[in-house]
Amino acid sequence: MAQEPTKTTVKAGGPVEPAEDDVEKFLVEQKTLEAHRHELIKELLKQKEAAIKAFDEKLARLGYEGEHAQKRTHHKHNDEKKPE
C-alpha cells in the first residue's frame, strides 16, 4: 500500500497587521464621513438662516411688527364688556 502524504493544517488568521489595517481604514472612513456630515449641517444651518432672514424681511415690508404687534383674540377685555 502506498502511503498518502500527511496534510498539515494551517490555522486561519495569518498576520495581525491586515486586521489592524482594516480597523485603521474603517476609522479613517468614519472620520471622513463625520466631517462631511458636519459640513452638510453647517451648510443647512446657513440656508435656514438665510431663509428666515428673507421671510422676516418680507413680513417687515408687509407691516408686521413682530413682538410689538397687538395680538388678536376672540375674548373680550374687561374694559370692553357692557355693564349689566
Tens of pLDDT along 51-70?
A: 999 999 999 999 887 666 56
> How would DSSP label each residue in 36-52?
HHHHHHHHHHHHHHHHH
Whether residue 33 lies inside any domain: the answer is: yes
- One digit per residue, pLDDT tens: the chain, 84 residues? 566 656 555 455 555 567 889 999 999 999 999 999 999 999 999 999 999 999 999 999 998 876 665 666 777 766 655 555
Whether residue 83 lies inside any domain: the answer is: no
Whether residue 84 lies inside any domain: the answer is: no
Whether residue 36 lies inside any domain: the answer is: yes
Whether residue 7 lies inside any domain: the answer is: no
- How many CA atoms are closer than 13 Å to the CA of 83, on its beta-carbon side? 0
Domains identified in the chain, total number: 1
Instruction: Tell me what pLDDT residue 71 has.
Output: 64
Whether residue 35 lies inside any domain: the answer is: yes
Whether residue 70 lies inside any domain: the answer is: no
Whether residue 13 lies inside any domain: the answer is: no
| Residues of the domain holding 40 | 19-61
